[in-house]
Amino acid sequence: MYGILFCFGALFAAGAYFILADFLKLPTFAATRAVIQAGRTDRQKTKNFDAVVLELSSHLSKFVHLDKYKRRKTEATLKSAGILMTPETFTAKALVKAGLAALGIIPALFIFPILCPIFVFLAITLYFKEMISADEALKKKRDQIELELPRFVSTIAQQLKASRDVLSILEKYRQTAGGHMRSELDITIADMQSGNLETALVRFESRLGSAMLSDVVRGLISVIRGDNGVAFFELLAHDFKQFEIQRLKLLAIKQPGKIRKYSFYMLACFLLMYLGILFFEIINAFNGLF
């Protein structure tokens, strides 16, 4: 009886949704997928689930209210991470994913009630994971740009010996820059061409919040104001090179630890296999005795 009522309620809700969506002229999932795909900076295909979540999030965002500080901070993080979404929609997206995970409690109550705490834990985990996803994306972007800064600084030091045009130096480096660095340089160059050079560089620094990039921007601003800058960038290139070597050493140190972890997994699998065989042999031996 409960299963029939559940199926009836689900089908009735789905039919009512489609009727109301047609009456209110809501966009289809295909249109929503196209909008998401057009706004993505990566090449991954948009799934139907993402379209459903965004559709629900856009409606729920009308009821999400953030204070000025949190909204401004979230908006800056989303913009820097390249996520084309309002802070309210981003927060609503986390709530929607957590709510969808929590819906698993309903069938669990009728089938296996002991699974309900697992769905509650999953919903809470998804919520906090989605809320920090923008910070993680920004950190990944910042790390990729910082990996490229030694080559960037070395190029600037060489270019300053022949030209002091900062805008021209950035335009030339942009042609060989990496993906994240190129997108940031595109924004910075367009900002420099349409406004003040120093202001554009300060915005470039504030978008990422990197201490290494702050040193580079400070040197470029000093060049714009008339300083030589060659000795500064040569010294900065040396420091960044040492930092890159240290980072590579740390990565090399971590590799044996990762391999060791999988070695323990393999050892545990072998032990379970042999112990399982030994356990079954012991059981068979006891059956023969009695």
For 225-276, write each residue's pLDDT tens digit: 888 888 888 888 888 888 888 887 777 776 666 666 677 778 788 888 877 7
Give the model confidence (pLDDT) of 108-142 as tens digits.
777 777 777 888 888 888 888 888 888 888 888 88
Q: What's the sign of the alpha-carbon dihedral 146, 151, 153, 155?
A: negative
Question: What are phi and psi for residue 257, nearest 5 degrees?
Answer: -65, -40
C-beta pairs of 239-243 under 8 Å, 24+ apart in sequence: 240/149, 240/150, 240/153, 240/212, 241/150, 241/154, 243/150, 243/212
- pLDDT tier for residue 34 given thresholds of 50, 70 and 90: low
Give the domain ranges of the chain: 2-94, 144-244
Residues above pLDDT 70, as percent of the chain: 78
Q: Cα(208)–Cα(79) distance, rounded to whole angstroms? A: 10
Burial class (CB in 10 A: 0-12, 13-18, 19+), 237: buried
So what's the pLDDT on residue 139? Answer: 87
Q: What is the CA radius of gyration of the chain?
A: 28
